């Protein structure tokens, strides 16, 4: 009899009904013993790595979640900023700080609150990307306007009817990469003229960085789940040894 919860154990209907408690790291249900890491319920299997390596070992899933939630937050922030510029005709660079805050929170949430240098770098990169994504609609508009002028010039000047070549997938990828590249470089293209903008962006990046600082890890436990319905068997189960942490 192994005390360690296995992933498939969630479907074992013979186990006594436990409170709806799952490990915050691997999501497997807590069967008997658990710890808390900074207040989050942690199973006996996951507490060992956390204790050994600190909370930075988020794994690929944690990094993917951090990227996903951080990007979702950044997308919302960039869209709000763009809409304000577009429809209210206001250039509120301070929203860059808001984007940094949202992305920072998103990465922090996605990573399970781990923090640490890797997630700080990730949060800063995502913040910068989503701040500059705010310029993409303008760049696309400018490129399309230029292409439109060219097309008109061709039609009016050339004798042969212009046959519109279908845009290949490769051209599309190149165009998207071009637009993103321009957007990412945009804050620096104005050089010293955009010193205020760069300053505001760096405040936004600082927000994202700060929010993902490594948190000190507090491990408490082991605790025992109170059995909701004790088994009818007369023999109380022996206290299982804590697996080597």
Q: Is 35 among the residues that bind Zn ion (CB under 5 A)?
A: no
Q: Is 25 among the residues that bind Zn ion (CB under 5 A)?
A: yes
Q: Is 46 among the residues that bind Zn ion (CB under 5 A)?
A: yes
Q: Is 208 among the residues that bind Zn ion (CB under 5 A)?
A: no
* Structure token pair of residue 38: 């900074």
Q: Is 23 among the residues that bind Zn ion (CB under 5 A)?
A: yes
Within 10 angstroms of residue 142's Cβ, the number of other Cβ atoms is 13
Q: Is 96 among the residues that bind Zn ion (CB under 5 A)?
A: no
- Radius of gyration over every alpha carbon of the chain, rounded to an integer in angstroms: 27
DSSP 228: S
Least distance between Zn ion and beta carbon 118 (Å):
21
- Contact (CB, 8 A) for 240 and 222: no
Q: Which is nearer to Zn ion, 43 or 126 (CB)?
A: 43
Q: Which stretch binds Zn ion (CB under 5 A): 15-23, 79-87, 160-168, 233-241?
A: 15-23
DSSP 227: P
Tell which one of 31, 37, 41, 43 touches Zn ion (CB under 5 A). 43
Secondary structure element (H or E) that encloses residue 42, with its range: strand 40-43
List C-alpha distances in Å: 77 to 96, 199, 207, 240.
8, 18, 14, 50
Q: Which is nearer to Zn ion, 4 or 63 (CB)?
A: 4
Q: Which stretch binds Zn ion (CB under 5 A): 23-31, 159-167, 185-193, 213-221?
A: 23-31
Least distance between Zn ion and beta carbon 240 (Å):
16
Angle at 219 between CA 216 and CA 225, to 5 degrees: 150
Q: Is 226 left (phi over 0), alpha (psi -120 to 50) or beta?
A: beta
Q: Is 26 among the residues that bind Zn ion (CB under 5 A)?
A: yes
Q: Which stretch binds Zn ion (CB under 5 A): 19-27, 102-110, 171-179, 229-237?
A: 19-27
Least distance between Zn ion and beta carbon 7 (Å):
10
How far does the chain reach from its first CA to its final CA, in angstroms?
A: 19
Please give the residue ranges that form the binding site for Zn ion (CB under 5 A).
23, 25-26, 43, 46
């Amino acid at each position: 009899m192994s005390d360690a919860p296995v992933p498939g154990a969630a479907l074992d209907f013979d186990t006594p009904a436990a409170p709806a408690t799952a490990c915050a790291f691997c999501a497997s249900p807590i069967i008997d013993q658990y710890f808390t890491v900074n207040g989050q319920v942690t199973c006996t299997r996951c507490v060992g790595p956390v204790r050994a390596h600190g909370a930075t070992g988020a794994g690929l899933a944690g990094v993917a979640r951090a990227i996903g939630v951080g990007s979702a937050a950044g997308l919302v922030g960039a869209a709000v900023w763009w809409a304000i510029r577009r429809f209210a005709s206001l250039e509120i660079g301070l929203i860059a700080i808001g984007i940094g805050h949202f992305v920072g929170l998103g990465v922090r949430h996605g990573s399970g609150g781990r923090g640490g240098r890797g997630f700080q770098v990730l949060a800063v990169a995502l913040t910068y990307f989503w701040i500059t994504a705010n310029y993409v609609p303008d760049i696309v508009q400018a490129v399309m306007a230029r292409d439109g002028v060219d097309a008109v010039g061709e039609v009016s000047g050339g004798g042969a009817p212009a046959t519109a070549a279908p845009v290949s997938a490769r051209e599309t990828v190149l165009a998207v990469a071009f637009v993103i590249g321009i957007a990412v470089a945009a804050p620096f293209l104005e050089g010293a003229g955009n010193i205020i903008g760069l300053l505001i962006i760096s405040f936004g990046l600082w927000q994202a960085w700060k929010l993902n600082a490594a948190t000190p890890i507090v491990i408490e436990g082991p605790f025992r789940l109170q059995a909701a319905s004790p088994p009818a068997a007369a023999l109380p189960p022996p206290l299982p040894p804590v697996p080597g942490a």
